[in-house]
Structure 1
Amino acid sequence: MATRTTTRSAELPDADELERLKLSPEVAWYLRDRGIPLPDCPPLIQTPSPGEAPGAVFDPDRVDKVIKAFSLLRHTQGQWAGQPLRPDPWQVAYILAPVFGWVRWDDDADAYVRIVRELYVDVPRKNGKSTLAGGLAIYMTCADGESGAQCITAATTKEQAGFVFEPVKKLAEAAPALKRHVKPLKGVILHPKSGSYFKPISSVAGAQHGANIHCAIIDELHEHKTPELVETIETGTGSRRQPLVVIITTADSGKRESVYDRKRQRVEKLARRVFEASSVYGVVWAADRDDDPHVEETWRKANPGYGVSPTRSYLQSKSDEAKQSPADLAKFLRLHLGRRTKQETKFITLESWHCNAGLVDESKLAGREAYGGLDLAATSDLLALCWLFPDDERGGFDAIWRLWTPEDNVDALDQRTAGAASVWVREGLLVATPGNVADYDYIQLQVERDLDAFDVRSIGFDPWSAVPLTNKLAESEAPMVKVRQGFVTMSPPLKELQRLLLKGTPERPMFRHGGNPAVTWMVDNLAVAMDPAGNVKPDKARSAEKIDAVSAAVTALSEAMTREQPVKSAYEDGGLEVV
Structure 2
Amino acid sequence: MTAARRTRSRRCWMRLSAAGRRKAAACVSFIQACCVHTIGQWAGQPFILTPWQLEFIEQVFGLVDRHGMRVVRTALLFIARKQGKSELAAAIALFLLIADGEQAPQVYGAAKDSDQAGLVFAVAADMVRMSEYLSGVCDIKESVKRILCPMNRGFYRAIPADAAGAHGFNASGIVYDELHTAPDRSLWDVLRTSTMARQQPLTFGISTAGIGQSGICWEMYELAGKIIAGTVRNPAIAARIFEVPEGTTFAQLAEQDDGGNFLRENDLWPMANPSLIGQPGGFLDPEGIREKVREALEIPSMQNSVLQLHYNMWVGAESHWLDPTMWRACSDGSEVDALDGRECYGGLDLASTNDFCSWALVFPWAEDRGLGYDLLVRCYLPKDVAAKRTHLRGDIAAWANEGSLTLTEGNVADYNRIFNDVLADAERYVIRDIGYDPFLATNLVVPLVQEGLTLTEVRQGPRTLTPPIQVLERLVMQRRLNHYGNRLLAWQADNVVLAHSEGGLVKLAKDKSREKIDGIAASVTAIERAMHPPEAPKKSAVFSFR
| Structure 1 residue corresponding to 2:36, chosen from 60, 74, 77 | 74
- Distance, in Å, in 2 between the alignment partners of 1:234 and 1:48 is 27
Q: Name the Cα RMSD after superposition.
A: 2.5
CA distance in 2, matches of 1:332, 1:43: 23
2:121 maps to 1:180: no
Q: Are the aligned partners of 1:118 and 1:279 in contact in 2 as well (CA < 8 Å)?
A: yes
- Give the secondary structure class of the aligned counterpart of 1:318: helix
- Runs of 5+ in structure 1 lacking a partner? 1-19, 23-41, 106-110, 344-579
Q: In the alignment, what sits opposite 2:326?
A: none
C-alpha distance in 2 between matches for 1:135 and 1:303: 20
CA distance in 1, matches of 2:268, 2:304: 15
2:154 matches 1:196: yes
Residue of structure 2 aligned with 1:311, choices 285, 293, 299:
285
1:226 corresponds to? 184
In structure 2, distance between residues paired with 1:208 and 1:148: 20
Q: Percent sequence identity over matched residues?
A: 25
User: Structure 1's 317 and 328: CA in aligned 2 closer, same or farther, altered over 3 A?
Assistant: same
2:443 corresponds to: none
Amino acid paired to 1:293: L
SS in 1 for 2:210: coil
Q: Which has the larger radius of gyration?
A: 2
Matches within 5 A, 1:382-461: none
CA distance in 2, matches of 1:250, 1:89: 19
What residue identity is the alignment partner of 2:271?
K
* TM-score (ref. length: structure 2): 0.51
> Is 1:98 the counterpart of 2:59 in the alignment?
yes
Displacement of 1:155 in angstroms is: 1.6
Determine if contact 1:141/1:196 at 8 Å carries over to the other structure: yes
Indicate if the aligned counterparts of 1:124 and 1:336 stay in contact, CA closer than 8 A.
yes
- Aligned pairs (5 A) from 1:58-69: 59-69=20-30
- How far apart are residue 234 of structure 1 and its match? 1.0
Q: Distance in 2 between matches of 1:267 and 1:47?
A: 14
**Are 1:123 and 2:79 counterparts?**
yes
Q: Map Cα deviations across residues 304-343 of structure 1 (whole Å, 9 max, x no partner).
A: 1011343121221122112123222111111001111239
Q: Deviations over 1:86-121 (max 9, x none)?
A: 11111102x11111111112xxxxx31111100000
Q: Any residues of structure 2 matched to 1:81-92 within 5 Å, and which?
A: 81-92=43-54
1:168 CA drift (Å): 1.1
Equivalence map 1:469-488=2 (5 Å): none
1:334 corresponds in structure 2 to: 308
Runs (4+) of structure 1 moved beyond 3 Å?
42-48, 50-53, 203-210
Q: Is the 8 A contact 2:174 2:191 kept in 1?
A: yes
Q: For 1:205 and 1:336, how far apart are their aligned partners in 2?
A: 30
Q: Look up the match of 2:229.
A: 272
Match of 2:123 in 1: 167
Distance in 2 separating the partners of 1:317 and 1:203: 33
Change (3 A) 1:47 1:116: farther
TM-score normalized with structure 1 length: 0.48
Answer yes or no: is the 8 Å Cα contact 2:296–2:303 preserved in 1: yes
Matched-pair contact (CA < 8 Å) for 2:164–2:186: no
3-state DSSP of counterpart to 2:268: helix
Residue 163 of structure 1: CA displacement?
Answer: 1.7
Q: What residue number does 2:268 align with?
A: 298
Deviation at 1:258, TM superposition (A): 0.9
Instruction: Give the distance between the partners of 1:49 and 1:207, measured in 2 at CA.
Output: 37
Match in the other structure for 2:295: 321
> Which position in structure 1 is the counterpart of 2:104?
148
Q: Which residue of 2 aligns with 1:476?
A: none
Give, in whole Å, the separation in 1 of the partners of 2:94 and 2:165.
19
The aligned length equals: 297
Between the aligned partners of 2:296 and 2:162, the Cα distance in structure 1 is: 38
Q: 1:222 and 1:118 mapped to 2: Cα distance?
A: 16
Distance 2:7 2:307 in 1: 15
In structure 2, which of residues 239, 253, 262 is the aligned counterpart of residue 282 of structure 1?
Answer: 239
Q: Secondary structure at the match of 1:246?
A: strand
CA distance in 2, matches of 1:45, 1:232: 31
Task: Give 1:145's aligned amino acid.
Answer: G
The one-letter amino acid paired with 1:99 is V
**C-alpha contact 1:153 1:164 (8 A) present in aligned 2:** yes
Distance 2:300 2:8 in 1: 26
